[in-house]
Amino acid sequence: MADRLVAVRTDHPLRVAVDGPRAALPFALARSLVEPLRTRGRAAEAIDAETFWHDASLRYEWGRTDLEAYAQRWLDADALRREVLSPLGPGGTSSFLPALRDPATNRSVRAAPVTVPLDAIVLIAGELLLGHGLPFDYTVHLALDSDARQRLTPPEWQWTLPAHDSYDREVQPAELAGIIVRWNDPRHPAIRIVDQAPISPDNQQSMR
């Protein structure tokens, strides 16, 4: 996976979505890629999308287990675009905010901005990341079927499972991914690299 990401070329830091359900631990995977990317000569950072959730008063406006709110309103997509994706994109400053809010305490983390070189790779990891119109340059999708999600999701998050079923049907994240990781058996994940050819700034597609 690190080799494939290093082969993707843009004229600004590469913005990679590591998209997958909680049971697949997308942020853990993103963190595990940072050192292999750095050993291949690329600056790399990993961001947990949960640190860009809306304030709890907005997330829980219709209750703590409202599926529509969870799918559409928990992630502060505007803040993620403003503080991370736009600064890392074409014509940006390459300086981004690595976190906005602690999802457990709901308090601002007051993180200092991070500046990366133009050839850096920044991994933004979390659930239900696609479908918000966010300008990712490349997508890694961690795929579990419905039965695997039910088996592997912690009890306190089981209520979210219908949102993931809808996400698979409506957004079809696997169709947008350059790399798909089949995660039904966490002991033996299967990696499929969809686009084998190098990607240049002239033919890259946002959300892929």
pLDDT for 117-152, tens place per residue? Answer: 999 999 999 999 999 999 999 999 999 999 999 999
Check residue 196 and give its pLDDT. Answer: 56
Check residue 204 and give its pLDDT. Answer: 38
Position 60, amino acid: Y
Domain boundaries, the chain: 2-193
Ramachandran region, residue 144 (left: φ > 0; alpha: ψ -120 to 50; beta: rest): beta
Check residue 186 and give its pLDDT. Answer: 86
pLDDT band of residue 17 (cuts 50, 70, 90) is very high
From the list 71, 95, 75, the residue with the least C-alpha distance to 85 is 95
Pick the CATH number of 2-193 from 1.10.4190.10, 1.10.10.410, 1.10.1740.10, 3.40.50.300: 3.40.50.300
Check residue 205 and give its pLDDT. Answer: 39
